[in-house]
Chains A and B, each alone.
Chain A
Amino acid sequence: MVGFVAAQLTFVVRAYWAPHREFGYQMFPEASTWQADIVRVTHDGARVPITERWSGYEWNELVGGRGLASPWRRHHADAGLDGQLAFLDAALTWVAANTPNDRETRYLEATVTAWHNLDPPSVLTMRTPDRSVP
């Protein structure tokens, strides 16, 4: 009983710094929005937007849920900006690691514009580790 109560309170407190705020019950936390221009950087240095299909893949088929579809459009970060950007970062890594037919991409890079509520926008860059392509 005491363990359950302690665990639940721990999750509630932890949600103030955990990006996904699991079991923190912070409803409708932000009005923040975000938009990302994502490119594939190939081994010859070309920067190809992921708005184009590549090697039989399409971003929206690989990454559907949690507001990650069509990242080139501005979206509401409905569970908070930190969580949304953590999802995007993890999604980039997953796509880089799970597109075996793609033999030309060296890494993926996202230039993200984030608006925390009504604050001025901030811009950050995410990139995946170099892919090991056979």
Chain B
Amino acid sequence: MTSRERFDELLARPVSMRSIGLLRLLLGVITAVHLWPIVLDGWRGDTFHDRFHEPYLAWLASLPAGLYVGALTAALAGAVLTAIGLWSRPATWIAWAGVALHLAVSTTHLHNNRAYLVTVLGLVALAPNDRSFAMDAVRRRRRGGDVDRTAPAWPLWLLRFTCATVYLASGISKLLDPDWFGGTVTWARVTAHRADLDASPLPSAVVDLVLERAVHTVAAKVVVATEIVIGVGLWWRPARRFVIPVAIAFHVMIELSADVQLFSYLAVAVLVVWADPDLALPERRATPRAGAGAISAAA
């Protein structure tokens, strides 16, 4: 078998879609939480039309406000259906289209967490995401139908690639920036908030430590190393049981120390695509797990 054939076989190999099903559920909730305030503003008549905006596609700027709000409302409904797994695949596409539309109408709407969301949502929409943790699967079983929980592995590989890319891109950009790697960026940010720190309930010794320049010289390197270790370590199966908890702890720290919108929740949710195939997740089984052995080989 040539390397090309081995690569094709790896992508086409049937694997369990359970992790993608669980990710779909979590993404539905995250997307609904993301869209809700935007839709609410739209219903109140507050859309991008009346404020500075810079569309990626010029014709989108002429989209009537009613049509725009209607599309986002449909996307919100799609996100709810995505979460419960009812008409999962079209619902995920509709949710994706709404998130993409909101980003496309203005550069000012784009943030890293939203870029990550629209990418992951699109990949999950491409996958057969209705086979686990979905009302669709339950309905199919009740009708006496068979639910094949497996599908070709390529969407899972693309999700894994995207997940690892986020950590590596972030880590490498900091590694290449002397100000970041040397601790200047974090130290400057912390000292800019010195008054807030002084007013906080933190003990003065902790505040002094946080404001100490030398601490940031070291801490910046720890941050860079953590991101790169996560991005690389996720690919090595034995390391995942250590790397995934580190990644979760990393996101908890970020969530506690910075305003990153939904990034922490999204990033932790996407980590499920690295789950081991024998992870014991509660799920009713109406049919034998035909793909259980296959995913072990692929994961």
List the interface of chain A (C-beta within 8 A of B): 1, 4-5, 8-9, 12, 15-16, 20, 22-31, 33, 61-66, 68, 76, 79, 87, 90-91, 94-95, 117-118
Contacts and interface: CB of A to CB of B under 8 A. Distances in A.
Contact of B169 (A26, A30, A79): A26
Contacts of B43: none
A117 B185 contact: yes
Given A25-B116, A30-B179, A117-B185, A1 B158 contact: yes
B161 interface: yes
B107 interface: yes
Interface of B: 11, 51-54, 107-112, 115-116, 119, 154, 157-158, 161-162, 165-166, 169-170, 173, 177, 179-180, 184-189, 192, 258, 260
7 contacts: A24-B173, A25-B165, A26-B112, A29-B185, A30-B185, A61-B51, A63-B52
B51 A62 contact: yes
A23 B119 contact: yes
Given A22-B115, A117-B184, A117-B185, A90 B173 contact: no
- Tell me which of A8, A76, A79, A95 has the highest count of chain B C-beta atoms within 10 A of its own C-beta: A8
A22 B169 CA distance: 12
A21 to B, nearest CB: 8
A1 B11 contact: yes
Contacts of A29: 173, 177, 180, 185
- Tell me which of B154, B157, B188, B260 has the highest count of chain A C-beta atoms within 10 A of its own C-beta: B188
Contacts, number: 94
B184 A12 contact: no
Q: Is the interface of A mostly helix, strand, loop or mixed?
A: loop
B118 to A, nearest CB: 9
A109 B116 CA distance: 36
Contacts of B179: 30-31, 117-118
Contacts of B53: 94
Contacts of A16: 173
B165 A31 contact: no
- Give 8 closest A-B pairs by Cβ, nearest first: A31-B188, A25-B169, A26-B173, A63-B52, A91-B52, A27-B170, A94-B52, A12-B169
Contact of A66 (B11, B108, B165, B188): B108
- Tell me which of B54, B154, B184 has the highest count of chain A C-beta atoms within 10 A of its own C-beta: B54
Given A8-B162, A30-B179, A87-B107, A15 B189 contact: no
Contact of B161 (A8, A27, A90): A8
Contact of B51 (A64, A76, A79): A64
Nearest to B179: A117
A26 B111 CA distance: 10
A85 B112 CA distance: 18
A72 B277 CA distance: 55
Contact of A76 (B110, B154, B158, B189): B189
B185 A28 contact: yes
Given A27-B112, A64-B52, 13 more contacts: A16-B173, A20-B110, A25-B112, A25-B115, A26-B169, A28-B189, A30-B179, A30-B185, A61-B51, A63-B51, A65-B109, A68-B52, A117-B188
A62 B52 contact: yes
A31 B192 contact: yes
A68 B109 CA distance: 13
A94 to B, nearest CB: 5
